[in-house]
Structure 1
């Protein structure tokens, strides 16, 4: 029994020892393995983290590269488009500018043509066509193409003539110049479009007689003055005579002095009157008073003239005439020679007259001038 008890005790002890040893071995093995497992786990985690970061960096690099490539491509595309747009805009602007310049040039030419034609028609207020040609402008009478020059300080007649490619004769033949050596700033002179003179038609004159007087062709006078019917020439009509020279010179003006045609008071002077120019002076002359020639000369007309009534015209020398109007009776005939102081008519109230009086004119180169510059008592 005791032996069995002993064996049982030994068995129990062996079992306990074995179990204890097994337990210890298990605990030791567990503690040994745990650090290695943790190390491996940490290593794996570190490697995993490193790989993740590398992947993140790689992805970022890829993304950045892709973004840079897209931005670069977008920038290049935008630059190309801008260049194309700029080139297209420049082309359009150039084309538009060219079109605008052509339109502006056409408009300028049209405006210039219209303005030139309106100036030639002396601004008569009528609407003009834009299709006026220079040939049509050239057909305008020369008298309507006369310009005006306003004298500047220091200018002389010779300066003005040279400036407009004319000569002194053309200035004298178109203007009333009493003193060639004394012109004033602001004074105005007519400038002819050609070399010649302005001639005013007197009673009894015709195209043929004027042409013969100045030795020019009648056809030239009619063409330059746009006269289609020579029989319709009017008294006091102004003509431009191409190439003609003034008959009465500056020196002639200084030497010539006239007597009074009648010794009475002057009732109306030369100059503006009733909205127009009074081209002579009026003397009080009771009906039938004797009228005398102011100087010797030849009677070039004696008869009726519209507006003047019965009139006498005397030529004292080439370019210088005197006119006596509104007479009641004429005592001389055309072609007769008269002497200074000779009675040539009797005063009256014929023609456009408001009462008996003498209308007296001095005509120089076919135009009336102030008689007071030529007559003295």
Structure 2
């Protein structure tokens, strides 16, 4: 009996000790030591570590992507710059000069000079200053007139003339002449170059033309008339003249040039009045000097073959308001 009671007591004590040991195993220093919980914690830690690694890897990848993007953008900018450099550069064309803007009007049946001038907002002076008009009251259908883009005159540079000479003569600034005619360097103005002088009026009026009568500078036959010749314009008439023949002034006036001028050879230019000049070219000898006054019929030169010439002859021009016109419209025997 006593023995059974002892065994029962020992068993109860064992159960109590076992339960106490199990309870202590649940918490050690406040930390969970249960195996299944430990597995859960370890799994959580692994996931957190994976998250940190993923975040770090993402940061690295993002940085690399950013670097690659910057590099790609830089490369594209370089390529675009290279393409821009290789692209053909379009040059801006300079504005057209006034002479390049000249139009040609063909006269219609019933039209008058005043009709044409009004149509283009010009005045009669501008038509006279650009065209050879021998009779204002008798223009014919099909006749062509140059139409200037502005009011003024069409002027051809004569031998011995400079930009400052023309500027002073017509009281127009040299800068205006250069700008209107696209002249970069005034010192390179060419003989026979056509320019437009803005707002300048003809010095020789239509009535002056009718009153003006010039004598023939030499009494020989005409070998080449005024007009188109050999694919270009011949601005005077050529007279046959054996070497050394006397050349006479077509009217009284003042010598404005006497000397050598390129294709003209030895040349004399006389101003008879404002807006009216005569030119005598290819001479062998010049007998007058600049600023000298001459009389009508006075011998001013001896014929020759100087300059661009195929044989001894006289090239004779009549210049009206700085522009050559047909001499036969002004010569009278």
Instruction: Flag whether TM exceeds 0.5 (same fold).
Output: yes
**For the residues of structure 1 that align with 2:117 and 2:232, how far apart are their CA atoms?**
29
Aligned-pair CA distance for 1:285: 0.8
2:235 alignment counterpart: 279
**For the residues of structure 1 that align with 2:249 and 2:323, how far apart are their CA atoms?**
19
1:261 alignment counterpart: 217
How many residues get paired? Answer: 246
Matched, 1:191 2:147: yes
1:47-85 per-residue CA deviation (whole Å, 9 max, x = no partner) reads xxxxxxxxxxxxxxxxxxxxxxxxxxxxxxxxxxxxxxx
2:313 alignment counterpart: 357
2:157 alignment counterpart: 201
What are the ranges of 5 or more consecutive residues in structure 1 without an aligned counterpart? 1-128
**For the residues of structure 2 that align with 1:299 and 1:313, how far apart are their CA atoms?**
6
Structure 2 residue aligned with 1:177, among 105, 125, 133? 133
**For the residues of structure 2 that align with 1:181 and 1:318, how far apart are their CA atoms?**
24
**For the residues of structure 1 that align with 2:133 and 2:289, how far apart are their CA atoms?**
32
Structure showing the higher helix proportion among its residues: 1
**For the residues of structure 1 that align with 2:127 and 2:221, how far apart are their CA atoms?**
34
Q: Secondary structure in 2 aligned to 1:334?
A: coil
TM-score when normalising by structure 2: 0.72
2:275 alignment counterpart: 319
Matched, 1:330 2:330: no
RMSD of equivalent CA atoms:
1.6
Structure 2 residue aligned with 1:160, among 91, 116, 119? 116
**For the residues of structure 1 that align with 2:192 and 2:231, how far apart are their CA atoms?**
17
Q: Secondary structure in 2 aligned to 1:307?
A: helix
Q: Secondary structure in 1 aligned to 2:228?
A: strand
Question: Looking at both structures, which has the greater relative contact order when contacts are Cα pairs under 8 Å and sequence separation is at least 6?
Answer: 2
Aligned-pair CA distance for 1:270: 1.1
**For the residues of structure 1 that align with 2:287 and 2:190, how far apart are their CA atoms?**
25
**Stretches (4+) displaced over 4 A:** none
Structure 2 residue aligned with 1:215, among 164, 171, 178? 171
**For the residues of structure 1 that align with 2:220 and 2:151, how far apart are their CA atoms?**
42
TM-score when normalising by structure 1: 0.63
Aligned-pair CA distance for 1:370: 1.0
Q: Between Structure 1 and Structure 2, whose CA radius of gyration is higher?
A: 1
Aligned-pair CA distance for 1:246: 0.8
1:367 alignment counterpart: 323
Structure 2 residue aligned with 1:343, among 291, 299, 310? 299
Aligned-pair CA distance for 1:132: 8.6
